[in-house]
Structure 1
């Protein structure tokens, strides 16, 4: 599996250089390492474009960002450059280019051998044999990335099932992948319509950090990039704190929790049993670790609902102190309710598979 990264987007033709610099500095300080930079809407002469982009790219490279420029055939025409010579982008300081439009497969494969060693990123948002065609021409795989589109118009983002089919095509070939999430406050994008810039329609109204949790939880995305600018400081900070490699549920705890229950919740790596059931997600190792610890019944005489988190109490015999996440409503007085996963994250339960690792963070911390 590739290392997972966070990224931001900047739009030099729609933004102020100083604001871009401040944004990139803040994101860099929080561990963001990738930039998506649009060149689709440039205008003006070649020198002016070079000066503008060189300035922000140079600043970003000093912060150790990897920078991919989004380009189209129109840009090559405007700037009078050729796909057969990518030195222009190397001179700008970019690490790669994203092809907004595809070719015949042979062309993309040849581009991955460009002497400038630029990454060639292709569009992931299609469920056709485009990638296989490129690979059949013996592409240079380390220099071939995939990146989904973003969708500025509400209602036009990808459905989850289609997103997953597209993503599996790329991950099965070990291609580095990326997709977009959307800040709730960012107003800058490439076009004059900006209802947010996510890849998945499902994510459009979710908090930024939960969108990222979603993309990482699919196991199909290596780089999660904020599509619009500028995300708020609070959004960047929350996003920087997520676990990129396992689902970390935000939980609101029950008032009556005892010391042992809070330790079980927050101080342990949870693993779903491989022999799964439909009623609960079971984390069983903790019951062995805390088998000597008493756990009196509390918050146990109720019907537990999907997303409730429970721990076996003293009346549960060998299952005392086993942690479970409820999938199907049921009552069982041998279990204490110790918390509930926040509403926005309940859908993440679908990504806890046999042997999946997961953790909890306290909503009130």
Structure 2
């Protein structure tokens, strides 16, 4: 089941603020927490336990799973070995994310830890690293993957690289997570550079819900995590409303849209007709339900990619159909443009295909 997550960075905030944020995220159904153990300079094991244990305990009480980001040098600094992961279990973590790897054999051995901690692997590296781990007969049930995030502008990965890496992992039957960036003011991450935190560079300045709908639309991502802290309540609420199973579009509504048309747009279940045209995605069953409705003509300008239309009275038996326009074409007056998909969501049109269920939201 797809899940949403948030991130906290205790070394850059206060325990009280982190606990408040986790409580807010849990209110909106968030189930994952990412946090970082990569900056532990000058701290001993007892100090780290004190710093993290209460916060992780609070997350667990909210039924949220915490993954700790670690690296081989952290193991050395804290005197932890790959044979004994009890330190992370004592903190209450659900798993550890290996920001950098060992040699494959060690990671495989860690998947058999008696605490069933998840071993999360970096999904963005694009090598045969995970194949190497699996070649050592790893316990696949305890392996999950997560892409990186990138604080420095223009360093986020390309969609092409994301797609290749994610497909390879899905082919192995592994869960894949990715990060989106809050657009809230004064957010922060683990490092001093804070130019947004995202997996895909094209998402850096996108609202979280649009970026998440894109990731889910690919069918290559199971979990979406907000990388920077703290996202606003408005952002968390919007993200919580995203349905991972549906291709979802916002609409910039035109005026003069009738109540009947609004009912068709927002309250009728839509799916793309199987024999799909290159010019449009048709949702046709609404013409049966609304065959007796009065749908007068309005906004009958030429049609552009991204327009959403409803057929009006003049088209007889087709009246009431809803179309999403995929290719520019003329309008003979029988199609009402009820609104348009926002420019920053037009990329989602690439995921329209026959029989795909979709939804239009305000």
**Short-chain TM bin:** over 0.9
Q: TM-score, normalised by structure 2?
A: 0.96
Give the 5 Å matches for 1:195-234. 195-234=195-234
Q: TM-score, normalised by structure 1?
A: 0.95
Following superposition, the deviation at residue 313 of structure 1 comes to: 1.3
Following superposition, the deviation at residue 52 of structure 1 comes to: 0.5
Following superposition, the deviation at residue 91 of structure 1 comes to: 0.6
Query: Counterpart of 2:349?
Result: 349
Q: Does 1:50 align with 2:49?
A: yes
SS in 2 for 1:153: coil
Structure 2: stretches of 5+ with no match in the other structure: none
Q: Deviations over 1:130-154 (max 9, x none)?
A: 2222223322222110000000000
May I ask how many residue pairs the two structures share in their alignment?
359
What's the Cα RMSD here? 1.3
Following superposition, the deviation at residue 288 of structure 1 comes to: 2.3
Query: Counterpart of 2:151?
Result: 152
Q: Give the conservation status (yes or no) of the 8 Å contact 1:188–1:229.
A: yes
Q: Give the conservation status (yes or no) of the 8 Å contact 2:217–2:246.
A: yes
Give the 5 Å matches for 1:136-147. 136-147=135-146
Following superposition, the deviation at residue 129 of structure 1 comes to: 2.1
Q: Give the conservation status (yes or no) of the 8 Å contact 1:307–1:325.
A: yes
Query: Counterpart of 2:65?
Result: 66
Query: Counterpart of 1:334?
Result: 334
Q: C-alpha distance in 1, partners of 2:313/2:131?
A: 57
Q: Which deviates more from structure 2 when the two are superposed, residues 222-231 or residues 353-362? A: 353-362
SS in 2 for 1:36: strand
Query: Counterpart of 2:162?
Result: 163
Q: Which deviates more from structure 2 when the two are superposed, residues 303-312 or residues 98-107? A: 98-107
SS in 1 for 2:12: coil
Following superposition, the deviation at residue 291 of structure 1 comes to: 2.2
Q: C-alpha distance in 1, partners of 2:355/2:164?
A: 23
Following superposition, the deviation at residue 220 of structure 1 comes to: 0.9
Q: C-alpha distance in 2, partners of 1:229/1:193?
A: 13
Q: C-alpha distance in 2, partners of 1:6/1:244?
A: 10
Q: Give the conservation status (yes or no) of the 8 Å contact 2:251–2:360.
A: yes
SS in 1 for 2:239: helix
Q: Deviations over 1:91-110 (max 9, x none)?
A: 11101000111233332222
SS in 2 for 1:330: coil
Query: Counterpart of 1:14?
Result: 12
Query: Counterpart of 1:239?
Result: 239
Q: C-alpha distance in 2, partners of 1:264/1:132?
A: 48
Q: C-alpha distance in 2, partners of 1:73/1:88?
A: 14
Following superposition, the deviation at residue 15 of structure 1 comes to: 1.4
Q: Which deviates more from structure 2 when the two are superposed, residues 350-359 or residues 33-42? A: 350-359
Following superposition, the deviation at residue 64 of structure 1 comes to: 1.1
Q: Give the conservation status (yes or no) of the 8 Å contact 1:131–1:169.
A: no
Q: C-alpha distance in 2, partners of 1:216/1:150?
A: 17
Q: Which deviates more from structure 2 when the two are superposed, residues 16-25 or residues 166-175? A: 166-175
Following superposition, the deviation at residue 187 of structure 1 comes to: 2.4
Following superposition, the deviation at residue 119 of structure 1 comes to: 0.3
Following superposition, the deviation at residue 179 of structure 1 comes to: 0.6
Q: C-alpha distance in 2, partners of 1:126/1:285?
A: 45
Give runs of ≥4 in structure 1 deviating > 3 Å.
none
Q: C-alpha distance in 1, partners of 2:315/2:104?
A: 61
Q: Deviations over 1:17-46 (max 9, x none)?
A: 111011011111111110001000112111
Structure 1: stretches of 5+ with no match in the other structure: none
SS in 2 for 1:70: strand
Q: C-alpha distance in 2, partners of 1:254/1:220?
A: 34
Query: Counterpart of 1:183?
Result: 182
Q: C-alpha distance in 1, partners of 2:355/2:117?
A: 38
